[in-house]
Chain A
C-alpha cells in the first residue's frame, strides 16, 4: 500500500537515509529498529508524507504521496509522534474528536457514536469527560491512539509508542496494537527501542543502520549478531518457550 522508491534524505551534509526501497501493507505489524540517529524516525515521517525526500518518492496506492491531499493521506495513514502535546484544558473526548477532521465535513460535529466507539476500544470511555492532562502516561498514550483511530486509517504509524511508559503500560499498548491488527486488519509500523518487544509483537522487523536497511524479515532477524551489528553491544540469546528469541545483554 505504501512503498518508497530510491528514497534519500540529507540534513545538511549528513546523509540520513540512503536509497531506501521498502514496501508496507495492511495486516502486519512492522518494527523499525536501529541505533539512535539511524534514520528510523525520519523514515516514519517520510512514509506519513510529513517530510519530503531529497531524492526518490514515497508512493501511496501507487501514486506519489505528495499528490494526495493532506486530508486524504490522513484517512489512509494515522501518525502519532513521539511526545505530542494536547491543547490546554481539553477533555479526553474533546481531544479524540480532533481525529474526525479528515473524515467529517467542516463545521459538522463528529458522530458521537464513532467517538464513543474508539474511546471504548482503548478502554477510555469511562474517562471521556476527564481533563486529558489528569490521565496517567499510559492512558494518555491510549487517548492519542484513539484520536488516530477516529481517522479510520488503514496503516498506523507510531514513533516509539512505549518509550516513556512503565512495564504495565508497555504491555497494554502492545496488546492494543495486536488487537487492532487482528480485529481491523490494520497495518502498524512502529519505531521501537527494545529488541525483545520488537521480536515478541512484530510480524516483520526492519533493522536500519547508517541510513540503509541492514536486515528485513520476520522475528528470526533478531539473533545474537544483530545487536552487535546495530549497537556494538554483546548479547546472548536465551531460548524461550514460544519460539521467540529473548536477547540478554552480556553486562
Chain B
C-alpha cells in the first residue's frame, strides 16, 4: 500500500473524493432554516412523517445537493473534454462561450418564450451549440485551431451572450436581483424538477464519453499525428466537442452559468493522481468527475453555511476558480499561453 503505485493511488483518490462528496451531501441535508440533527435528517430521507423538517429534507435539501453533485460532475467532464479537443489545459466551457450560449438559450426559454421547463435542456444545448460554432468559426485559421485563440474567441462570445441574456431578462421584467442571482449560477431553490431534467441527459453523455475514451487518448496529439496512429481526428473532435456542449448545457439548465469548474477539476484530478506519471484516460475522466462533484457540492454547502443562503454557490466558485486559473495559467501550465 504505497502511494507510488498508480492503481492504489487512483483507488484512494476515488474513495476520498466520494467520501468528501458524501460528507457535503450529508451536511447539506442536515443544515438549513429548520436545524436538524444528522440522524433525524437521514431518517427523513427514507420516511416522510409529514413534518416541516421532513419536507425540507426530502423536497428541498436532498434534491438540491444531488443537483450540485450532478452538475459538478458534468461540468468537470465537459471541461476535460474541451481540454482534449482543443489540446489546451486552459479549456473550460465557461471560457469557450458554451456556458454563456447555453445560459442565453435557457433564459430565452424561461422568460420571453415561456416554454415548458422540459425544453430547458434542449434550449441550453441549442444555445451552447450556437456559441460553440461561433467560437469555432472565429478561432479557425488555415493552421488549424490554435488553443489560445479558441479561448479568446470564447471570451468574446461569452461576453456577448451574457449581455444578451441580461437584456432578455431585463426586457422580460425580471427584477435585477433575480437576474443577478441567475447570472452567477447556483442551486438556490433547485429541486427534483431540475434534477429529473438533468440526469438522463448528463448520464447518457457521460456514458458516451467513457465509451470514447480510447479515442480521446489519441486526440491529445495533433491532427496529423493522431491520423498517423489511426484516428480521423477532425470527426472525433467534433463528436467530443458536441458531448462537451451537451454536458455543459445540461448543467447550465440546472444551475445557471457556473464558471471554472470545468477548468479546475481536471487539473486537481491530475494532481491527485500524481504528477510524475500521466494517468490513464478513463481513470483521469472518472477522477475528474468525482472531483467536480465534490467541489461543487462543497461550494454549495459552504455558501449556505457561511452566507446563510443569501449568496449563490456560483459566486464562491467563480472567485476560487478564477484565482486557480490565474495561478495555473501563469505558472504551471506549459505551452498554453
What is the chain A residue whose CB lies nearest that of B281? Answer: A87
Question: When A87-B220, A88-B334 are in contact, do A70 and B278 touch as well, CB less than 8 Å?
Answer: no
Near A by CB (< 8 A), chain B positions 196-237 give 214, 217-218, 220-222, 224-225, 227-232
B interface, CB within 8 angstroms of A: 89, 214, 217-218, 220-222, 224-225, 227-232, 270, 275-278, 334-335
Interface pair A88/B230, CB less than 8 Å apart = no
A interface, CB within 8 angstroms of B: 45, 48-50, 70-75, 77-81, 84-91, 94, 98-99, 101-102, 106-107, 129, 131, 147-148, 151, 157
Cα distance, A129 to B6, chains bound together (Å): 12
Interface pair A79/B228, CB less than 8 Å apart = yes
Interface pair A89/B277, CB less than 8 Å apart = yes
Interface pair B89/A79, CB less than 8 Å apart = no
Partner of A87, one of B224, B227, B278: B278
Question: When A71-B230, A98-B229 are in contact, do A50 and B277 touch as well, CB less than 8 Å?
Answer: no
Cα distance, A77 to B230, chains bound together (Å): 10
- From B222, B275, B278, residue with most partner A Cβ within 10 Å: B278
What is the interface of chain B mostly: helix, strand, loop, or mixed? loop
What is the chain B residue whose CB lies nearest that of A147? Answer: B229
Task: Chain A residues near B270: list those with CB within 8 A.
Answer: 89
Question: When A48-B227, A88-B278, A91-B278 are in contact, do A70 and B232 touch as well, CB less than 8 Å?
Answer: yes
Task: For the A-B complex with A85-B222, A88-B278, A151-B230 known, give 14 more contacts whose Cβ atoms are closer than 8 Å.
Answer: A48-B227, A49-B227, A50-B227, A50-B228, A71-B231, A74-B228, A79-B225, A84-B222, A89-B270, A89-B277, A90-B277, A91-B277, A98-B229, A101-B218
Partner of B224, one of A72, A75, A79, A91: A79
What is the chain A residue whose CB lies nearest that of B214? Answer: A106
Interface pair A45/B224, CB less than 8 Å apart = yes
A-B contact pairs, 19 of them (CB 8 A): A48-B228, A50-B224, A50-B228, A70-B227, A81-B222, A81-B224, A84-B222, A85-B221, A86-B221, A91-B277, A91-B278, A101-B217, A101-B229, A101-B231, A102-B230, A131-B276, A147-B229, A148-B228, A151-B230
Task: Chain A residues near B220: list those with CB within 8 A.
Answer: 87
Task: Chain B residues near A102: list those with CB within 8 A.
Answer: 229-230
What is the chain A residue whose CB lies nearest that of B217? Answer: A98
What is the chain A residue whose CB lies nearest that of B334? Answer: A88
Partner of B231, one of A70, A79, A157: A70
- A67 CB to closest chain B CB (Å) equals 14
Cα distance, A55 to B230, chains bound together (Å): 24
Cα distance, A251 to B77, chains bound together (Å): 59
Question: When A89-B277, A94-B278 are in contact, do A81 and B230 touch as well, CB less than 8 Å?
Answer: no
What is the chain A residue whose CB lies nearest that of B219? Answer: A87
Interface pair B230/A78, CB less than 8 Å apart = no
Task: Chain A residues near B225: list those with CB within 8 A.
Answer: 79-81, 84
Which 6 pairs of residues, A with B, have the shortest CB-CB distance?
A74-B230, A79-B228, A102-B230, A87-B220, A71-B230, A89-B278
Cα distance, A209 to B114, chains bound together (Å): 65
Task: Chain A residues near B335: list those with CB within 8 A.
Answer: 85, 88
What is the chain B residue whose CB lies nearest that of A131? Answer: B276
- A107 CB to closest chain B CB (Å) equals 6
Cα distance, A77 to B224, chains bound together (Å): 13
Cα distance, A94 to B280, chains bound together (Å): 9
Task: Chain A residues near B230: list those with CB within 8 A.
Answer: 70-75, 101-102, 151
